Amino acid sequence: MMIRENVQKILSELPQGVELVAAAKARLPEEVLEAVKAGVKIVGENYIQEAERAYALVGNRAKWHFIGHLQKNKVKKAAALFDMIETVDSIELAKEIDKRCSQIGKVMPVLIEVNSGREEQKAGVVPEKVESLIREISGLQHIKVMGLMTMGPYSPDPEDSRPYFVETSQVFEKIKKLNLPNTEMKYLSMGMTSSYQIAIAEGANMVRIGTKIFGERS
Ligand SMILES: *Cc1c(COP(=O)(O)O)cnc(C)c1O
């Protein structure tokens, strides 16, 4: 397996202060464990069921980030399992997370997912609505906003992602300066296998990498 070599190469090349999230969708629990043994500290999961299977093998050897689209009826499980939810994009979802976390005595760190491409069908809040959503969430006791996440529109040329990363980064810096209560703008999660170097150049300090660790998804 190349997973070990891939992880070690990526980790050795990432600038100091940039966190690697291994995007594990469609991978076997054994592959996720291999990545963790090679030095991955955070696993990103898109689906609750896959996360449960991987967690059963890997457990607390890694932190677990939810990076998929979270349905309301899955929040209870997500609240128990994850260390961070990177994809909060509505006050309704935030309130549900807050409610479930209050029941288990937990404060959930979350990122706000930004729909930086302003794409109709895509998850996330458009850049100009991020601040008002964070202000609403800051009143909740069991959820804490810790930054922003974005995907950007898909393009075969990663350079096309740059303007979306730039805009998300600007929103991040602006909100950081506001020092909102119960909010700590610490993480900017942007960039995937093809685009993470560009994302880092534009301010990302968390990158979500799947293919470059595990190989092409079948
Ligand atoms: C799959 C996925 C990634 C990683 O994509 P790769 O191109 O395989 O690196 C990153 N973020 C999210 C939200 C994903 O679903």
> The CATH number of the domain where 169 resides is what?
3.20.20.10
Q: Are 42 and 20 in contact (CB under 8 A)?
A: yes
Give a yes or no: residue 125 inside a domain: yes
Give a yes or no: residue 140 inside a domain: yes
- Give the total number of structural domains in the chain: 1
Q: What is the pLDDT along the chain (218 residues), one digit of tens a residue?
A: 599 999 999 999 999 999 999 999 999 999 999 999 999 999 999 999 999 999 999 999 999 999 999 999 999 999 999 999 999 999 999 999 999 999 999 999 999 999 999 999 999 999 999 999 999 999 999 999 999 999 999 999 999 999 999 999 999 999 999 999 999 999 999 999 999 999 999 999 999 999 999 999 87
Look at residue 1 in the predicted model and tell me its pLDDT.
59
Give a yes or no: residue 23 inside a domain: no
pTM over 0.85: yes
Pocket (CB within 6 angstroms of ligand 1): 23, 25, 46, 67, 151, 192-193, 208-212
Give a yes or no: residue 166 inside a domain: yes
Give a yes or no: residue 21 inside a domain: no
Centre of ligand 1 from the C-alpha of residue 212, in Å:
10
Give a yes or no: residue 2 inside a domain: no
Q: Which domain holds residue 72?
A: 67-213
Q: Are 66 and 84 in contact (CB under 8 A)?
A: yes
Give a yes or no: residue 33 inside a domain: no
Give a yes or no: residue 35 inside a domain: no
Centre of ligand 1 from the C-alpha of residue 208, in Å:
6
The whole-angstrom separation of Cα 125 and Cα 53 is 30
Look at residue 218 in the predicted model and tell me its pLDDT.
78
Centre of ligand 1 from the C-alpha of residue 73, in Å:
23
Q: Are 83 and 45 in contact (CB under 8 A)?
A: no
Look at residue 40 in the predicted model and tell me its pLDDT.
98
Q: How many CB atoms lie within 10 A of CB 40?
A: 26
